[in-house]
Homo-oligomer: A and B are copies of this chain.
Amino acid sequence: MSKGEETKAAILDEAAELASLVGLGGLTIGTLAAATKLSKSGLYAHFASKEALQVQVLEHARGRFTDVVMRPTLAAPRGEPRLREFFDRWLTWQSEAFDGGCIFVVAASEFDDQEGPVRDELLRAERDKLESVTLIVGTAISEGHFRPDVDAEQVAYELEGILLAHHHARRLMRDAGAEARARRAFERLVADCRPVALTG
């Protein structure tokens, strides 16, 4: 990796961290330059515009999400175990990936009404994740862990809800029991997907 690529990666790392604290829109070249010990112009030379920087921050974070959540998840056994692995890693990601909250959660509410490349990239990332989850739930169905009439997309939707509630409870409310609540909600979701137990 050349020097330029190295510093650029360092910039994007720091930028993601900062954005998780003050938002992707609240991110400024000045503070980012100070945090990376670069001059404003020196930093800016790596990007075409601030908007391009914001997009690349999201891409960078997406790469990290793939590395620490998605890829290991796909190594778990198909079906429900894989879904559990994914949920676990996603939960950890939200707590530990950034100092502030998950950058995608922050950016999603900030840019959901601001057309442009940032929103586009966000949408891409979310669609990607949603599709992956739906697929995982689908395998849980075909493996017989879940009932055949389970709506995979609905499960993905509700899973997203659990994670968002966790983010909310943990970051804003500073609720120490947030993770336990999320796990209980997850168990309820999974239980409702399982085949009905035969009585007797």
Contacts and interface: CB of A to CB of B under 8 A. Distances in A.
Interface string A21-44: 111011000000000000000000
Contacts of A119: 172
Copies of the polypeptide in the assembly: 2
A70 interface: no
A29 to B, nearest CB: 16
Contacts of A164: 161, 164-165, 168
A20 B114 CA distance: 11
A171 B119 CA distance: 11
A141 B119 CA distance: 43
Contacts of A108: 109, 168, 171-172
A93 to B, nearest CB: 15
A173 B25 CA distance: 19
A135 interface: no
Interface of A: 20-23, 25-26, 99-101, 105-106, 108-114, 119, 122-123, 126-127, 130, 151, 153-154, 157-158, 160-169, 171-173, 181, 184-185, 188, 192, 199
A112 B26 CA distance: 13
B181 A188 contact: no
B154 A181 contact: yes
Contact of A126 (B110, B127, B173): B173
A103 to B, nearest CB: 10
Given A113-B171, A160-B169, 20 more contacts: A20-B113, A22-B114, A23-B110, A25-B25, A100-B113, A108-B171, A109-B110, A109-B167, A110-B110, A111-B172, A112-B171, A126-B172, A154-B181, A154-B185, A158-B162, A161-B161, A161-B165, A164-B165, A192-B192, A199-B199
